[in-house]
Amino acid sequence: MTSIITNNAAMAALSTLRSINSSMEETQGRVSSGLRVGEAADNAAYWSIATTMRSDNMALSAVQDALGLGAAKVDTAYAGMESAIEVVKEIKKKLVAATEQGVDKAKIHEEVIQLQDQLKSIAEAATFSGQNWIVGEDATTVTVVSGFTRDSTNTVAVKTTDYVRTGGLTGNLLFTDDGAGVIDFTTGILGEVGTSGASVYGVDITTLDYDAGVPAGTANHISTMIQDVDNALLAMTSAGAELGSISMRIDLQEDFVAKLSDSIESGIGRLVDADMNEESTRLKALQTQQQLGIQALSIANSASENILSLFR
């Protein structure tokens, strides 16, 4: 039956055209955004995972920044410790030279005084962002952010690498302070009295004077000082090795965090990114279908006009 009121063919063509237009809008959205899952309505599960992982990746980016800051602190401390070791080596060399008969011990002592002052300058200057890892309160811990984790129960945590600062002759602090930045130069590896013959000849590195003591200036006296200096070198070398190992770990962690961030970004892309080759092909096909749909609707609408010829 042919009717001028109800045009079933036109309605069918219009429904098809609406479906094509809807698909075109969806495909154009994917092409313009580059995302297959751009909102929760597209795929709630994938959208939820991608949103969470993007958040974690932002946290990892902050961890990378923190690692860079931590690396700078450790490198500054290591540079200070390394420089202090070189100065103490030079003091040891001067003491050995002072054992030789006939040398001008007063001139050598003047050089040692300058080296002692240099040790204090190094200790005071080895600061980065307000933190000094080779001078500080005894038995305190400084930390470096080293990671961000999320376990199977969705519990998140920030991981840190700890460095325990200890005073004393065998610790890792050149000097200690009162917590308010006031350095006590009579403490720490360089400031405390040495253990070699401490009852008679024991000295600290920053004030040793081989023209003082009993018996002053004797070979035995100087030899004891050399032993004290060597003991300090051993402690400083150990502290430098500890700082070096932390620096190595930070470098490894920086590489790992960078790779982890890239892996997460790649994983998110696999879930939500659109295949542009596929989407461009689909868009071209939908454009062709749209043109055909418009043509079909035009033909369906023109069928009613043919009825007019029956009344002529």
Phi then psi for 150, rounded to 5 degrees?
-135, 120
For the entire predicted model, the pTM comes to 0.79
How is residue 133 annotated by DSSP? S
In this predicted model, what pLDDT tens digit does every residue of 248-291 receive, in sequence order? 999 999 999 999 999 999 999 999 999 999 999 999 999 999 99
In this predicted model, what pLDDT tens digit does every residue of 154-182 receive, in sequence order? 888 988 989 999 998 889 999 999 888 88
Beta strands in 166-238 (DSSP E): 175-177, 183-184
Distance between CA atoms of 122 and 118, rounded to whole angstroms? 6
Alpha-helix runs per DSSP H in 7-43: 8-33
What percentage of the chain has pLDDT greater than the value 70? 91
In this predicted model, what pLDDT tens digit does every residue of 109-125 receive, in sequence order? 889 999 999 999 999 99
Contacts of 146 (CB under 8 A, 6+ apart): 63, 67, 70, 159, 160, 161, 249, 250, 253
Pick the CATH number of 44-272 from 3.40.50.300, 1.20.1330.10, 2.40.50.100, 2.60.260.20: 1.20.1330.10
On the question of a cis peptide bond just before residue 215, with omega within 30 degrees of 0, the verdict is yes
Domain ranges of the chain: 44-272
